[in-house]
């Protein structure tokens, strides 16, 4: 199997731009994932976020997770657990309105660091969307505009910790799913692995790399690209040794954004090829909430049925 795609963003600014764009194109069409290095976010910013996140987990989240494990009796499970994940999480919203100041138990310097990190990730996400536009033959800014709705995109960060798990064969860190939204930027632990994607029927490890950002495509980009790009099933395997710390930032359409295949891409579709549905993003999210850990195709079919009803 080919190596997991790693994109050096510095190469987008010189003679090797064509090759770098081809790597991104191949990753979007055949992997649904790629890893960025030299992405412009300073290493010291990432190191500080990692340090503050791990401190916050120890101080605030660790005992809560232990209490949850005890309450649910997860330490002694004998059969596979299919309705829970071995993860400790909280969520920070950045757009359309930031909730960072309202989230309890965050130190002021952590709040400020997260605001700064989110601004940098927002800029990177929008830069990536324009690179995808270029590869798809869409005008610059098309994807950002498609996500915008009446106010702004939905953009937020899920801060996770995957503590050591005594029964990783019986409980997943995070069960297999595709992401509902747009483009996802993941700052993951570089020492403890666990993230896997499904490619050609096999689970493939997403390699931990220091100071990289892992990018994956959500269901909405598959719709807008009319299937040329794909959202890909992925999961997190719990580990017996070592805690894994990922921060996943989701740059998603606005709740009232109307999502549909880009007309320029539908024009090229043959009679025997399918056209993806048109829907309001919030309607898709309501459906996704109950079907996250099931295949995406029935979700698309349900949206298509609602469209023609």
Question: What are the residue boundaries of the structural domains of the chain, listed by start?
Answer: 6-308
Query: What pLDDT, on a 0 to 100 scale, did the predictor assign at position 1?
Result: 56
Query: What pLDDT, on a 0 to 100 scale, did the predictor assign at position 67?
Result: 87
Count how many residues are written for the chain.
309
Query: What pLDDT, on a 0 to 100 scale, did the predictor assign at position 56?
Result: 93
CB 193 within 8 A of CB 214: no
Measured distance CA(13)–CA(22) in Å, rounded: 14
CB 224 within 8 A of CB 98: no
Give the position of tokens 């660790």: 62
Measured distance CA(146)–CA(224) in Å, rounded: 9
Partners of 19 in the beta sheet? Answer: none
Q: Which helix (H) or strand (E) holds 298?
A: helix 297-308
Tens-binned pLDDT, residue by residue, of the chain (309 aa)? 578 999 999 999 989 999 999 999 999 999 999 999 999 999 999 999 999 999 999 999 888 888 888 878 777 788 898 888 999 999 999 999 999 999 999 999 999 999 999 999 999 999 999 999 999 999 999 999 999 999 899 999 999 999 889 888 898 999 999 999 999 999 998 888 899 999 999 999 999 899 999 999 999 999 999 999 999 999 999 888 878 899 999 999 999 999 999 999 998 776 567 899 999 999 999 999 999 999 999 999 999 999 886
| Threshold 0.75, pTM exceeds | yes
- Of the candidates 154, 153, 290, 296, which has an alpha carbon nearest to the alpha carbon of residue 304? 296
Measured distance CA(259)–CA(303) in Å, rounded: 11
Query: What pLDDT, on a 0 to 100 scale, did the predictor assign at position 270?
Result: 67
Query: What pLDDT, on a 0 to 100 scale, did the predictor assign at position 218?
Result: 98
Query: What pLDDT, on a 0 to 100 scale, did the predictor assign at position 77?
Result: 82
76 is written with which tokens? 């002694």
Query: What pLDDT, on a 0 to 100 scale, did the predictor assign at position 73?
Result: 79
Strand 88-95 versus strand 174-177 pairing type: unpaired
214 is written with which tokens? 């892992």
Q: What is the CATH number of domain 6-308?
A: 2.60.120.330
3-class secondary-structure state, position 177: strand
Question: At 33, phi and psi to the nearest 5?
Answer: -140, 150
């Amino acid at each position: 199997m080919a190596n997991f795609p790693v994109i050096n963003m510095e190469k987008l600014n010189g003679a090797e731009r064509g090759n770098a764009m081809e790597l991104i194109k191949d990753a979007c069409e055949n992997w649904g994932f790629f890893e960025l290095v030299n992405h412009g976010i300073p290493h010291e910013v990432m190191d500080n976020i990692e340090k503050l996140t791990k401190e916050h987990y120890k101080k605030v989240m660790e005992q809560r997770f232990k209490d949850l494990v005890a309450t649910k009796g997860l330490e002694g499970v004998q059969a596979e657990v299919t309705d829970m994940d071995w993860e400790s999480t909280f969520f920070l919203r950045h757009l359309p309105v930031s909730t960072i100041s309202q989230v309890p138990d965050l130190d002021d310097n952590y709040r400020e660091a997260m605001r700064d990190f989110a601004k940098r990730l927002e800029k990177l996400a929008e830069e990536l969307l324009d690179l995808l536009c270029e590869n798809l033959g869409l005008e610059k800014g098309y994807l950002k505009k498609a996500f915008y709705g009446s106010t702004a995109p939905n953009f937020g960060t899920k801060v996770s910790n995957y503590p050591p798990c005594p029964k990783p064969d019986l409980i997943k860190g995070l069960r297999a799913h595709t992401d509902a939204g747009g483009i996802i930027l993941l700052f993951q632990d570089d020492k403890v692995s666990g993230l896997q994607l499904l490619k050609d029927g096999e689970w493939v490890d997403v390699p931990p790399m220091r100071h990289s950002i892992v990018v994956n495509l959500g269901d909405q980009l598959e719709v807008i690209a009319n299937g040329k790009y794909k959202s890909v099933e992925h999961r997190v395997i719990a580990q017996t040794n070592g805690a894994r710390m990922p921060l996943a930032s989701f740059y998603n359409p606005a709740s009232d954004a109307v999502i549909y295949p880009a007309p320029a891409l539908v024009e090229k579709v043959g009679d025997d090829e399918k056209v993806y549905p048109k829907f309001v993003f919030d309607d898709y999210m309501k459906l996704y909430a109950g079907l996250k850990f099931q295949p995406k195709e029935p979700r698309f079919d349900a949206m298509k049925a609602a469209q023609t009803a």
